[in-house]
Structure 1
Amino acid sequence: MTYAVGMRLNRGLVFMSDTRTNAGVDNISTFNKMFNWSVEGERSITLLTAGNLATTQATVSLLEERTKAPEDRAPSILEAPTMFQVAQLVADTLSDVIAKHGRLGQQADSAFHATLILGGQIKGGPSRLFLIYPEGNFIEAGDDTPFFQIGETKYGRPILVRAYDPEMSFPETVRLLLVSFDSTIKANLSVGAPLDLLLYDEGSLEAGQRTSFEADDPYFRTISEGWGDALKSALSRLPKYSMESGTSD
């Protein structure tokens, strides 16, 4: 399983993903699920993946090859003039990969499904963020839906819904995302560190600042322990339930 988040801020875009893959309790590995293509001063594109590993790797490999192949190749995400057209290219590639698996005689097409988060900026336009479905369709983030999650989303969503603010700084957003990921890791062993992070400044048209948090990272551990203590403290301050009246004291 995977957990990944792409988020829009007034400051820019923020991406975070785990790196754990799970094919059973005795087959747990680490794979990159965050990919970036950039041409300095012209565009920066980031992709997060969740789902069948063979499907996501084939999709990413095709996108990468098309940026380097001869003139008769398929369209490249480094040439598409808008982020919408990049999203369409990525969606079509994902759909084609899944369809190819089906044509090869696989009986359970859903086993090869994958979901992607795509975000970035191309010179002349604003940064944009998309959620791409395995069927090849996609939706775009907006003011009402400023972030997308893929993979194991339910455990980390409540903190994002309650605490997100488009005015947040990058440091504040990293803290929020680490709490969201820590909650997911605590609840689901199929999600785990290292956690990859990419911060994209609006208008920079550069790859962005990328870093990784290991499970024993001092800051990550401080966030995890501090959030647990804060929850216990907040719970203790809530009104107590009265056994006699059935109401709070």
Structure 2
Amino acid sequence: MTYCVGLQLDRGLVFMSDTRTNAGVDNISTYRKMHTWEVPGERSLVLMTAGNLATTQAVVSLLDERNLAPSDRNPTLLTAPSMFQAARLIGETLRDVIATQAGTGPKAAATFNATMIFGGQVKGSPPRLYMIYPEGNFIEAQRDTPFFQIGETKYGRPILVRAYDPEMDFARAVKLLMVSFDSTIRANLSVDTPLDLQVYENDRLELGYSRRIENTDPDWRAISEGWSDALRRAFDSLPDIAL
């Protein structure tokens, strides 16, 4: 399992992903699920993945390979004329990778599924944020749907729904995501630190602040412990029920 969130703000985009991959309680590994590409001054792209690890690694490897040999297949992520066309390329690649496994093993089509969040900006158009499905199709974030989650989404969603504000600054958005991830990690052992963070500011056209957040990170510990204390205080302040 995994947990990834892409958040669209008035100021830009914020991405966060965990790194835990497991195939059972006794087979746990750490793999990076956030991948970035950029041509400074021209485009900045971020992709986060959830699902079958072999599928997601194959998709990222194919995208990287095409970037190195653009004459073999155009456009590539580094030459696509728009974010929409780049999302189409990722969707087609994901669909093709899954299709190659469709006839191998029991229920292979489902076994090799994956879902992705893709965001960033190409010069000449505003930043975009997409959710890409195993079938290769995708949807775009809008004002009414300003964030996407993939993986283990249910535990971290309530805080996003309650506290999200499109006008918040990046520092507040990162704090919101940390609380969302802390809630998920405490409820599900298949999600865990370290976490990867990437911030993109509108029209900058180069990747902004990025960070790997370990379990011992002082900011992470402060948010995690502070949120627990705040919840206990809020619970204690509620009126008792007469029985």
By the TM > 0.5 criterion, same fold? yes
**Per-residue Cα deviation, 1:16-62 (whole angstroms, up to 9, x for no partner):** 00000011111100000000000000000100000000000000000
The aligned runs of 1:120-199 (5 Å cut-off) are: 120-199=120-199
Structure-2 change in CA distance of 1:70 and 1:136 (3 Å): closer
Report the 3-state secondary structure (helix = DSSP H, G, I; strand = E; otherwise coil) of the residue aligned with 2:14. Answer: strand
CA displacement at 1:238 relative to structure 2: 1.0
**Hey, what does 1:85 align to over in structure 2?**
85
Structure 2: 5+ residue runs without aligned partners? none
Q: Percent identity?
A: 64
CA displacement at 1:147 relative to structure 2: 0.1
**Hey, what does 2:224 align to over in structure 1?**
224
Distance 2:175 2:72 in 1: 46
CA displacement at 1:106 relative to structure 2: 2.7
**Per-residue Cα deviation, 1:176-217 (whole angstroms, up to 9, x for no partner):** 000000000000000000000000010000022210110111
Q: Do the aligned residues in 1 keep the contact of 2:22 with 2:29 (CA within 8 Å)?
A: yes
Structure 1: 5+ residue runs without aligned partners? 244-249
CA displacement at 1:239 relative to structure 2: 1.4
Distance 1:236 1:181 in 2: 24
Structure-2 change in CA distance of 1:98 and 1:74 (3 Å): farther
**Hey, what does 2:105 align to over in structure 1?**
106
CA displacement at 1:70 relative to structure 2: 5.2
**Hey, what does 1:246 align to over in structure 2?**
none
The amino acid across from 1:207 in the alignment is L
Structure-2 change in CA distance of 1:180 and 1:71 (3 Å): same
CA displacement at 1:240 relative to structure 2: 1.2
When Rg is computed on C-alpha atoms for both structures, the one with the higher figure is 1
CA displacement at 1:72 relative to structure 2: 2.5
The aligned runs of 1:11-50 (5 Å cut-off) are: 11-50=11-50
**Per-residue Cα deviation, 1:121-146 (whole angstroms, up to 9, x for no partner):** 00000000000000111000000000
Q: Do the aligned residues in 1 keep the contact of 2:66 with 2:72 (CA within 8 Å)?
A: no
Q: Which moved more, 1:154-163 or 1:106-115?
A: 106-115
Q: Do the aligned residues in 1 keep the contact of 2:70 with 2:76 (CA within 8 Å)?
A: no
Distance 2:131 2:72 in 1: 29
The amino acid across from 2:181 in the alignment is F
RMSD: 0.8
**Hey, what does 1:55 align to over in structure 2?**
55
Distance 1:8 1:144 in 2: 11
**Per-residue Cα deviation, 1:83-140 (whole angstroms, up to 9, x for no partner):** 011110000000000001114x232110100000000000000000000000111000
Report the 3-state secondary structure (helix = DSSP H, G, I; strand = E; otherwise coil) of the residue aligned with 1:154. Answer: coil
1:205 aligns with 2:205: yes
Distance 2:75 2:106 in 1: 31
Distance 1:73 1:89 in 2: 11
Normalising by structure 1, we get a TM-score of 0.96
Deviating above 6 A after TM superposition, structure 1's stretches of 4 or more consecutive aligned residues are none
